[in-house]
Structure 1
């Protein structure tokens, strides 16, 4: 599977997101009901026209406008792109009767968090669950960059995928004169990326991969994937929705087994003895140096 970031969610400034959300609530069509209500599709087109107009003014003035105006224009573009990516695909989801559950990934173990998210996004926490219906709630995951892993997974876990280019039949006839190819061929190499590098590149994809690999491989998988909205920080554009924070179950840490406990005690005693021996050696060398100098 390719762990490279997909066109989905991104990170942006919370101030611009709140400004766009407020603009959408004020100027959006009030009679519209659906996933785009509260944001206003017309507002986004108006913002695009505003950005293009400001850019034309900037070009006419030969770029002599102040730096603050230029930075404001860039921030506005980034905020608009963030809103469009965060709201992508919501029009395909029937949001009637669905809850908006918020998961805080800060300090949570990746596997435990992904299992809870997969349960909620499938609707298994409801008494009306059926495997042939998609009744799961919307899941918003915050602070993806602060998720934790146990053991040595940060350096030992790898994501692997294959690169390649699709050759059509005409291309194959050009490159392979003697071979009549009617199917596509994938020419490439195996690529891999460690979990540590993937967290530095895009931490949202780590949680997404963990959740998707816990879902059944059927036709409902893509619909459930659209209900999963993951953000790197604590900002999200769904402030006007009836949000319900999800409380993670308490984590029970297993007690250390007797054999492992004895090994730990022996290791601690050995370390203390080595440290004491090193201190005695340093003290003896200092005493000898003092006698020589005297």
Structure 2
């Protein structure tokens, strides 16, 4: 059996929009990573760039389950003493996009293709976004937080 390689005519990068209001972070990240990789398409090949653009709005209203409000997100600048610690509670107030980007990045493969796929992720804290001319298709994530029910 030969390896399937999609033709250039098969490569379409569609646009999808997801509303993150009261959606659990993990379920949102798995759905987003699936769309970014192109695993929802019948022509999926792990070595080809088939992913779609994903817009996530209302990132500030995402639901964090368990004790994630106490969890710390680390980043390092590469300079001596450049370790930075931000708690999820602070990030949810000041930079909620970073929480979602970090969760989706962890679910993508650790290779060169991941950077290309992650560049197609557009996260916005509020309900407004500048990508309306692309006419994104709305996607719903079924996992709504227990607190929201």
| TM surpasses 0.5 | yes
TM superposition shift of 1:245: 0.2
Aligned to 1:161: 75
- Aligned position for 1:124: 39
Using the alignment, how far apart are the partners of 2:53 and 2:66 within structure 1?
Answer: 31
Cross-structure match for 1:196: 89
**Number of aligned residue pairs:** 136
Residue among 18, 28, 33 paired with 1:113? 28
Pick the structure with more strand per residue: 2
Is the partner of 2:141 in helix, strand or coil?
A: coil
d(CA) in 2 for partners of 1:250, 1:194 = 24
Moved over 4 A (4+): 250-253
- Matching of residue 239 in structure 1 with residue 132 in structure 2: yes
- Checking the alignment, whether the CA contact within 8 Å between 1:99 and 1:242 is kept in structure 2 is no
Unaligned runs of 5+ in 2: 1-10
The superposition leaves residues 109-158 of structure 1 with CA deviations (integer Å, 9 ceiling, x where unpaired) of 01110010000100011111000011011100000000011112112x11
Partner of 2:4 in structure 1? none
CA distance, structure 1, for counterparts of residue 54 and residue 76 of structure 2: 30
- Show the counterpart of 2:108: 215
**Higher relative contact order structure (alpha carbons within 8 Å, sequence separation ≥ 6):** 2
Cα RMSD over matched residues?
1.9
By how many angstroms is 1:199 displaced?
A: 1.4
State which structure, 1 or 2, has the greater radius of gyration over its C-alpha atoms: 1
What TM-score, normalized by structure 1, do the two folds share? Answer: 0.44
Residues 247 and 188 (structure 1), Cα distance of their counterparts in 2 relative to 1, 3 Å cut: same
1:4-60 deviations in Å (ceiling 9; x for gaps): xxxxxxxxxxxxxxxxxxxxxxxxxxxxxxxxxxxxxxxxxxxxxxxxxxxxxxxxx
Unmatched 5+ stretches in structure 1: 1-95, 166-186, 254-294
Q: Quick check: 2:58–2:127 contact (8 Å CA) kept in 1?
A: yes
TM-score, normalisation: structure 2? 0.84
For 1:189 and 1:140, the matched residues in 2 are separated by 31
- Greater helix fraction, Structure 1 or Structure 2: 1
Aligned to 1:224: 117
Q: Which residue of the other structure, out of 148, 152, 172, is the alignment partner of 2:67?
A: 152
The counterpart of 2:58, out of the listed 143, 146, 149, is: 143
